[in-house]
Amino acid sequence: MIDIRLIREKPDFVRERLATRGGGDEEKIDEVLRVDAERRKTETELQRSQSERNRLSKEIGAKRSRDEPSGELEAQVRKIGEQIGDLTQRASSFDEAQRNLLMEIPNVPHESVQIGKDPSANRVVRTWGEKPQLTKPADHVALGTRLNLFDLDRAAKLSGSGFICFTGAGARLERSLINFMIDLHTREHGYVEISPPFLVRRDCMIGTSQLPKFEADMYGLEENQLFLAPTAEVQLTNLYREDILSVADLPKKFVAYTPCFRREAGAAGRETRGIIRVHQFDKVELVKIATPEKSYEELEWLAADAERILQQLGLHYRVVELCTGDLGFGSAKTYDIEVWSPGQEGFLEVSSCSNFEDFQARRMQLRFKDRDGKNRFCHTLNASGLALPRLFAALIENYQQPDGSVIIPEKLQPYFGASEIR
């Protein structure tokens, strides 16, 4: 959430930056300030009443020690006690109202982010590789069906639409990609591998800003107190929630493979055909916990780590910097990494690399002690490193051969155990 002190001190700045997102959230700032003023006023009255009660209590004690009557003072103390109860309840109510309002307001875009209303204003930062020269390429659905890599009909029998059942060589390829990515990130990029639970508590989902805004898109259990994780970002970023880390231990770098679960599978259309957009998918996630001074440097390295997967696999991709109107709810700055898909005749997003600054850390009370001994909020970052099954689809489309087979990239062959799929 946004620092309330920033809203108090620079309300016009916050309104201006939020307005660039185009969601109308800047209109909530006045209400936040009103509730904040009432909360602070009530807390001041509460402190004054508590101080007065303490003063009178001492007078009562002194009178009793002198065997003097204290009934009048005791009546005042009882009355003040009732006022304190009312003020405590009011202060708590205002505090909850302020927190709820702040939960609804997205992050302030970083000053370097291009202002724009929608994805048309996004900027291509760089590209890598070349599109393969293919004559009438088949899409991943045709390839997967012909080579028995997945069975969408049987997946629908098991779970309904929007699910995948990888089979045979397809299941092996999916597992090979996961192992290859985990090994690269741990052995060469310095991430610590985590194998987390797949169910997460409600406060963890709030901490990484999936809740309350996106609750309808999540799979909830036990009256929505537990959730199937929509991304391992939730588990990895919350590992140190409510902790105070040492600056010497930062940055922390974690990687995890998990399945991801999301109700929203998108509107009907070309992107929903096959395995491009589904309710359950595998993903290797990267998370960093950093200091504010280093977080944007860490963002560049984070993107480079995710890109290296595509470079190792020889897949053409581009990196797109999102404009203010296309930023995710909690992000201050985001790069999308998009791989070329011959079957889609376009690019598919396989990673979003984001710096949330202290937006998530404030929600989960994730702090560090700096070199001066002061407790400060960490900055959190995450990226897919990478997301499947879009990577799977792009790989088989890019490496399809005229005879209908699929070549396995050299770096992946030791994991897959063969050089091609026939």
Regarding whether 283 and 180 lie in a shared domain, the answer is yes
HEC profile of 277-311: CCCEEEEEEEEEEECCCCHHHHHHHHHHHHHHHHH
- Chain segment 97-127, per-residue pLDDT in tens: 999 999 999 999 999 999 999 999 999 999 9
- Give a yes or no: residue 243 inside a domain: yes
Whole-angstrom distance, CA of residue 388 vs CA of residue 392: 6
- Mean pLDDT across 377-396: 97
Asked if pLDDT for residue 273 goes beyond 80, the answer is: no
Q: What integer best gives the mean pLDDT of the chain?
A: 96
Which pLDDT score is estimated for 211? 95
Which pLDDT score is estimated for 90? 95
- Give a yes or no: residue 215 inside a domain: yes
The residues with which 150 forms a beta bridge, in sequence order, are 166
Which pLDDT score is estimated for 272? 60
Domain holding 284: CATH number? Answer: 3.30.930.10
Regarding whether 239 and 158 lie in a shared domain, the answer is yes
Regarding whether 136 and 96 lie in a shared domain, the answer is no
Regarding whether 132 and 62 lie in a shared domain, the answer is no
Asked if pLDDT for residue 267 goes beyond 70, the answer is: no
Regarding whether 141 and 93 lie in a shared domain, the answer is no
Asked if pLDDT for residue 342 goes beyond 70, the answer is: yes
- Give a yes or no: residue 312 inside a domain: yes
Asked if pLDDT for residue 269 goes beyond 90, the answer is: no
- Give a yes or no: residue 369 inside a domain: yes
Which pLDDT score is estimated for 21? 97
Which pLDDT score is estimated for 45? 96
Domain holding 28: CATH number? Answer: 1.10.287.40
Regarding whether 217 and 184 lie in a shared domain, the answer is yes
- The dihedrals phi and psi of 92, each to the nearest 5 degrees, come to -65, -40
For residue 344, give every residue at least 6 positions away whose Cβ sits within 8 Å of its Cβ, in sequence order, or none: 139, 270, 271, 276, 397
Identify the band that residue 93 occupies on the pLDDT scale cut at 50, 70 and 90.
Answer: very high
Whole-angstrom distance, CA of residue 399 vs CA of residue 69: 95
Q: Kindly tell me the sign of the dihedral angle through the C-alpha atoms of 150, 158, 268, 208.
A: negative
Domain end position, chosen among 72, 103, 134: 103
Regarding whether 137 and 95 lie in a shared domain, the answer is no
Domain end position, chosen among 79, 103, 127: 103
- Give a yes or no: residue 109 inside a domain: no
Whole-angstrom distance, CA of residue 386 vs CA of residue 185: 11
Domain end position, chosen among 103, 131, 160: 103
Which pLDDT score is estimated for 16? 97
pTM: 0.93
Regarding whether 93 and 225 lie in a shared domain, the answer is no
List the structure tokens of 115: 């202002």
- Chain segment 132-154, per-residue pLDDT in tens: 999 999 999 999 999 999 999 99
Whole-angstrom distance, CA of residue 261 vs CA of residue 282: 9
Regarding whether 149 and 94 lie in a shared domain, the answer is no
Domain enclosing residue 51, as ranges: 4-103
Identify the band that residue 268 occupies on the pLDDT scale cut at 50, 70 and 90.
Answer: very low
Asked if pLDDT for residue 33 goes beyond 50, the answer is: yes
Regarding whether 93 and 150 lie in a shared domain, the answer is no
- Mean pLDDT across 63-69: 91
Identify the band that residue 271 occupies on the pLDDT scale cut at 50, 70 and 90.
Answer: low
Whole-angstrom distance, CA of residue 51 vs CA of residue 36: 22
Q: What residue has token string 């505090």?
A: 95
Regarding whether 135 and 49 lie in a shared domain, the answer is no
- Nearest alpha-carbon partner for 142 in 406, 384, 347, 321: 406
- Mean pLDDT across 357-383: 98
- Give a yes or no: residue 108 inside a domain: no
- Give a yes or no: residue 50 inside a domain: yes
Q: What total number of domains does the chain contain?
A: 2
- Quick one: what percent of the chain has pLDDT higher than 70? 98
Regarding whether 75 and 15 lie in a shared domain, the answer is yes
- Mean pLDDT across 60-73: 91
Q: Kindly tell me the sign of the dihedral angle through the C-alpha atoms of 261, 267, 268, 274.
A: negative
Identify the band that residue 280 occupies on the pLDDT scale cut at 50, 70 and 90.
Answer: very high
- Give a yes or no: residue 307 inside a domain: yes
- Chain segment 184-203, per-residue pLDDT in tens: 999 999 999 999 999 999 99
